[in-house]
């Protein structure tokens, strides 16, 4: 089965099920991002043909000719065929909470107004950060600057997030809806690159 990176078809926001008849359900599969084999992945739930509150996380993968998106529905997180999803609203909405990570160097930032954290290999545990402010992009609805800092002033990070539908972590077949530039990781001011998904 051929695999390749794919840009997901719609924003990470509530989606509706589309294209199923009234007697059908949309199966939720488990772990296809790891196996890249739909047939061997267990069905862990179903979604009614008329559901309108399916949350996509912003992660997708291509398996053969099909696009699959990671979703959360009624507490179940799994994968569904993207051809049966459509955005509930065509306006791009800013995610309330994101999980962003990068490689070389490795880093991880949880962006949340209530509980942001930063983690890197040289830290034993995540550092709690205050969410200082949000700066939407000038003239762009797909760009946001998140400003974070630790209470002791030791860490001051800026995470520039952009909706691209095509961010690759360089280590897997997954594609992420959001790319990130992290400023403040290096004393030189050099940005670090990464990808983000919606926190679930």
Same domain, 24 and 63: yes
Read off the CATH number of the domain in which 75 is found: 2.30.30
Phi, psi at residue 197, to the nearest 5°?
-130, 165
Instruction: Kindly state whether residue 34 falls inside one of the protein's structural domains.
Output: yes
Instruction: Kindly state whether residue 142 falls inside one of the protein's structural domains.
Output: yes
pLDDT of 162 higher than 60: yes
Same domain, 79 and 167: no
Same domain, 81 and 131: no
Mean pLDDT of 126-145: 93
Mean pLDDT of 177-188: 91
Mean pLDDT of 97-116: 92
Between CA 96 and CA 18 the distance in angstroms is: 25
pLDDT of 76 higher than 50: yes
Phi, psi at residue 185, to the nearest 5°?
-75, -35
* Mean pLDDT taken over the chain: 87
Between CA 43 and CA 25 the distance in angstroms is: 12
Query: Which pairing describes strands 156-168 and 143-149: parallel, antiparallel, or unpaired?
Result: antiparallel
Q: Contact, 111 vs 194, CB < 8 A?
A: no
Between CA 78 and CA 56 the distance in angstroms is: 10
Strand partners, 197: 99
Look at residue 96 in the predicted model and tell me its pLDDT: 84
Closest CA to 176 of 109, 97, 101: 101
**Domain end (from 60, 87, 114):** 87
**Domain end (from 55, 87, 119):** 87
% of the chain at pLDDT higher than 90: 57
pTM of the model: 0.78
**How many domains is the chain partitioned into structurally?**
2
Instruction: Kindly state whether residue 26 falls inside one of the protein's structural domains.
Output: yes
Domain that holds residue 134: 97-198
Same domain, 18 and 44: yes
Q: Contact, 73 vs 47, CB < 8 A?
A: yes
What are 90's two structure tokens?
């065509």
Same domain, 66 and 105: no
Mean pLDDT of 91-108: 86
């Amino acid at each position: 089965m051929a695999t390749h990176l794919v840009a997901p078809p719609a924003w990470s926001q509530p989606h509706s099920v589309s294209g199923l008849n009234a007697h059908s359900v949309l199966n939720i599969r488990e772990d296809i991002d790891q196996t890249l084999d739909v047939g061997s992945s267990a069905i862990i739930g179903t979604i009614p043909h008329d559901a309108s509150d399916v949350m996509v996380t912003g992660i997708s993968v291509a398996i053969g000719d099909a696009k699959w998106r990671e979703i959360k529905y009624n507490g179940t997180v799994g994968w569904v065929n993207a051809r049966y999803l459509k955005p509930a609203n065509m306006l791009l909405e800013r995610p309330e909470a994101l999980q962003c990570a990068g490689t070389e160097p490795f880093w991880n930032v949880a962006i949340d107004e209530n509980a942001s954290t930063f983690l890197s290999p040289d830290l034993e545990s995540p550092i709690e950060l205050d969410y200082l402010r949000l700066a939407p992009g000038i003239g762009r609805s797909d760009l946001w600057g998140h400003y974070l800092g630790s209470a002791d002033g030791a860490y001051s990070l800026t995470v520039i997030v952009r909706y691209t539908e095509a961010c690759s972590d360089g280590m897997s077949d997954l594609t992420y809806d959001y790319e990130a530039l992290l400023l403040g990781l290096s004393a030189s001011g050099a940005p670090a690159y990464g990808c983000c998904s919606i926190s679930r």
